[in-house]
Chains A and B, each alone.
Chain A
C-alpha cells in the first residue's frame, strides 16, 4: 500500500487545494488576503496550483498599513506583475493623512486603525463574502482553536464560543448577506512545513527573511530597522549595523529583527530547529494586552 501513501507535505498541499477550490465553487465573491509574508507566498502558490492550467479566479488584496518595509512593497509589485495577479491594495488613507503611526500613537492604536480598520473597510468596500488568510494554528494559542472556515458576523466579529462544527472535509459555506467566512487553508501547516515547502517549490520570498548586514536600533528589547525617514530623530544615534534577518514581516517599527547568519533556507531551518524563541516573540502586537491576539481576532483582525 505504500505506493499509495502521500508524505505529510503532499497531504497538506492536497488539503489546502481542496479548501481553496471549495471556496471558489461556493462563494460569489472571494478574495485572498496577501500580506507579502512567507505564508502568504505559499498560499498564493497553492491557489495557482488549485486552478492550473487556468488562472486564479479571485483577486488578491493587500492591506497596506503604510508602514511596511520598502522591500516588501517592491517585492509585492514585482510578484503581482510577473504572475499576472489581480491585486487590490487598500489603506486607511484618512488615518494615514492625520499622521497615525506606531511611534506617535503606540502599537495598539496603529494596529486598530491601519490594519484592522483598513481590512474591514476593504472587505466592506468590495463586499467580499469570503477572505482567505494565511494564518496557521501552530502560531498562537487562540488560532489553535479556530475553524478552517471561520464564520464572521456582519460586524466581522469572531465568536470563539459559538463556532460552527466542522467535520471531515465538508465545509459549511452558507452565509447571509453581509456576513462572511474567513478561510485558512494553511491551518494545519507548521512553520517548518512552510519553510520546507518554500525550499522544495522554490517559492520566491522577500529578501528580508535572509540574514544580511542591516542598520538596527534596540528599542524596548526589540531590534528595529529604520526603514524610512519617519524613524524618530532622537533614536538615530542608537542605530548600528548588525547581521540580522526577520522571522516575520509586518510594519517595520513593530517587527523585531533577530541577529542571524542564516542567509539560505537551509540555514534558516537549522537556526529555527536550534532556536529558543518561537516566531511570534518578535511581534510587538501580541504582547500589548493580556490574551491580546484573541481580543484582536474577536474584533476582526486576522
Chain B
C-alpha cells in the first residue's frame, strides 16, 4: 500500500511539470547526438533493451571506438545510420524531477539548413555546440544567426570536447570572447556559456571534476531552471478562428487556439476583417466553461451577438489590433529544391488564413555565414532573403519579433504542394515598395458615368471582392 501512495504522489507531481522545447545544433563532428544520448543516459531514461541494441550497433557500425556510441540512439533512419550523419530532425523526450523536455536534434550539415529551421521553430532554447579544439566556426555563426532569426530567446553555447583541450580555462575564455564579438548585434536576450565533455559527462548533468574554474551550473540544471515563457504579446489578444462549430441551431461556437494574449468572459472583441464588435458570452471546453483562456489553450468561444464569422477570421480586443494589410515584408527562408519563381502566385498560410501571394521585390539576400547582403533576383534552397509581398486578401499580422504566432507564415507551391518557404514578418510596407506592374483590374467610376450616390455601394462591393482575392483598382 505504501508503494501505491508513493506512485500516486509521483503521478501528482509529474502532472504539474511544465514543458521546455529545445533544439540542439552543431556540425557533424561536434557530438550533439552524443550530448543528447548522454542527457538521456545520465537522467536514467534509457531502458535496458534500448541500451542492449545500442551496444550491439556500436560494435558493428559505431564511430566511438571502445565507447558506446550515443549518437546511434538518435540516428534512427537506416540511410543516415549508414552515412553516419543526422539527416533530419529527430525528436526526443526527456523528463526530470522538475520538467519535461522535447528535444529537436537537428543536422548541422550545410545542405540541410532547412531542417534546423524546422526543428527550431517551436524551440524556446537552442543549444549550439562548438568543438573546443576548433572554436567558433562558420557553422556556429550560421546556427546562431538562424536561432536569432527564429526568435529563440535563450541560447546555450556548449563548448564541447573540453577533455581534448585538457580542460583548459583560457581556451574556453578565448572561444567565449570570440563568440560574444559576433553575437552582440543579433540581440539574443539570454546567452549561457558552458564548458563540457558530452562523451565523459562533464557539466552535462553533474558538475565536472576537472573544471573547478567553472563556477556556473551544469547544462541540465540550466535547462531545468530557465524560464519557459517570455511572452511579449501578453496584452495582444489574437484568436484566429480555426473551425466554426454548429452542432445545432442554438449553438454557434468559434473554435481556435489562443495565439496570444488573454481572452476573458465578457470581453469586448472585434472580428477581423469585418470590424464588427461583440462580447464573449462563453468560453466552452469539454471540461466545463472557463472564465479566461490564454496561449496555447484550444477552446471554443460563443459571442453575445450573431455575427457572420468564418475560418481565417480573427478575434482581437478593439484597443489592441494587429496590422491589417496586404503589403508586407518578411525574412524568408527558401526550403524547396525548386528555386523561387517570382512569377508564381504561391499560397500563403498564415494563422488559419490561406491566400494567394505575389512576390514583389527581393530587397537582399543574407549570407548566413558572413551576414553580408547581396542583390538577387530569386532565392534557392537554404537561402534567406528580405522579401516584399502582396497578398490577394488582407492578412491580420504582427511583426514576428513582437508576436511569433501572428508573424509566422509558410508558402506552398501551387503546383507541387510542397512547403516552399517559411517567413517571419518584419512589418507593413508602403505601396511605393510594391511591384510597379500592377495586374489589378481598373474600375473607372467617372469614366463609366457612375453617379456619386452609388460610390459607397461600389466601394463596398470592391472591398468584398478584394477579400476574396480579386484585385480591383478604383479610380474616382
B79→A161 contact, CB < 8 A: yes
A255 at the interface (CB under 8 A from B): no
Cα A288 to Cα B235 in complex, Å, equals 55
| B384 contacts chain A at the CB level, 8 A cutoff | no
Q: Does A25 count as interface, using CB distance less than 8 angstroms?
A: yes
Which of B79, B257, B284, B417 is within 8 Å of A176, CB to CB?
Answer: B417
How many residues of A are counted as interface, with CB atoms below 8 angstroms from the partner's CB atoms?
Answer: 71
CA distance A275 to B93 in the complex (A): 18
**Chain A residues within 8 Å of B, Cβ to Cβ:** 1, 4-15, 17-18, 21-22, 24-25, 48-55, 137-138, 140-145, 160-161, 163-170, 172, 174-176, 187-188, 190, 192, 196, 199-200, 264, 266-267, 269-270, 273, 275-278, 281, 290-291, 294-295
Q: Which 10 A-B pairs have the closest CB atoms?
A: A141-B76, A54-B247, A276-B48, A167-B121, A8-B19, A49-B286, A17-B298, A52-B286, A291-B78, A278-B47
Interface residues of B in 12-34 (CB under 8 A from A): 14-19
Residue of A nearest to B75 (CB): A141
Least distance between A217 CB and chain B CB atoms (Å):
22
B67 contacts partner chain A, Cβ-Cβ < 8 Å: no
| Extra contacts besides A7-B17, A10-B297, A172-B417 (9): CB < 8 Å | A21-B255, A25-B243, A25-B352, A49-B286, A52-B285, A141-B75, A161-B77, A161-B79, A170-B351
Q: Please tell me if the beta carbons of B408 and A50 are within 8 angstroms of each other in the complex.
A: no
User: A190 near B298 (CB under 8 angstroms)?
Assistant: no
A167 and B408 within 8 A (CB): yes
B213 an interface residue at 8 Å Cβ cutoff?
no
A52 CB to closest chain B CB (Å) equals 4
A300 to B326, CA, bound (A): 41
Docked pose: A246 CA to B7 CA in angstroms: 20
Contact yes or no, A192 B50, CB < 8 A: no
Find the A residue at minimum CB distance from B92: A144
Q: Is the CB of B11 within 8 A of A145?
A: no
B285 and A275 contact, CB distance less than 8 A: no
Please, which residues of chain A bring their CB within 8 A of the CB of B257?
A: 14, 17-18, 169
Chain B, range 81-132, C-beta contacts under 8 Å to A: 81, 87-93, 95, 100, 102, 114-115, 117-118, 121-122
Interface centre among B115, B247, B256 (most CB of A within 10 A): B247
Whether the pair A172, B419 counts as a contact (CB closer than 8 A) is yes
Q: Which of A138, A140, A167, A276 has the largest count of B CB atoms less than 10 A from its CB? A: A167
Given contacts A7-B17, A52-B300, A276-B47, contact A170 B408 (CB under 8 A): yes
- Kindly state the separation between the CA atoms of A48 and B285 in the bound complex, as whole angstroms: 10
User: Do A137 and B242 touch (CB < 8 A)?
Assistant: no
Contacts of A196 in B (CB 8 A): 11, 14-15
| B335 interface residue (CB < 8 Å to A) | yes
> Complex: how many Å from CA A163 to CA B337?
12
Measured between beta carbons, the chain A residues less than 8 angstroms from B422 are 165, 167
Q: Is B349 an interface residue (CB 8 A)?
A: yes
Minimum CB distance partner of B230 in chain A: A1
* 20 intermolecular pairs with C-beta atoms under 8 Å apart: A6-B297, A8-B18, A8-B100, A17-B257, A22-B242, A25-B352, A49-B286, A49-B287, A141-B74, A144-B91, A144-B92, A165-B117, A172-B410, A175-B417, A269-B10, A270-B4, A270-B6, A273-B7, A277-B48, A278-B47
